[in-house]
Structure 1
């Protein structure tokens, strides 16, 4: 009987690294769809998908509290997607992402 209670307790640390992600988007006419993901307690990713007719140049800024912002640039072709990741030195409590895309 005690083993039934132990299994859920063992799963708690694996669920503890999920943190909220706030995204501010500035698409400037680009037709972009995005999806965010937490990878570990100090790593996150955003999947940028271009559903428009032209390529889009995107800049992603990851901000985690007092650490320096992580800036990533990518060009997403029409009909394709791109994963952009950031790794931090500290555990993330809340992550803020600014997604800026311009059609090319």
Structure 2
């Protein structure tokens, strides 16, 4: 039973990462049939490589890629912090004069 659950979780993770990865790819490189096929080919090659390489190598590679993703997210947070601060100030300014009502259910 546990083996089936783990296999289904792995399969659903592959499908999810493939979908969201392709969405990000098409956002960056344009939505064309050739671009999508290139992403799918690269994704499938990485699946094959991940299944034949030793587990330690796959985990090290996955850790390195996730570290790079986190690094870019942190850079984005710092770059967008002034924009978030401005939007937060704008939202609070609208709440004070009553232009936007406070949500009483949010505090409960």
TM category, shorter? under 0.3
Q: TM-score, normalised by structure 2?
A: 0.25
Q: TM-score, normalised by structure 1?
A: 0.26
More strand as a share of residues: 1
Structure number, greater radius of gyration: 2
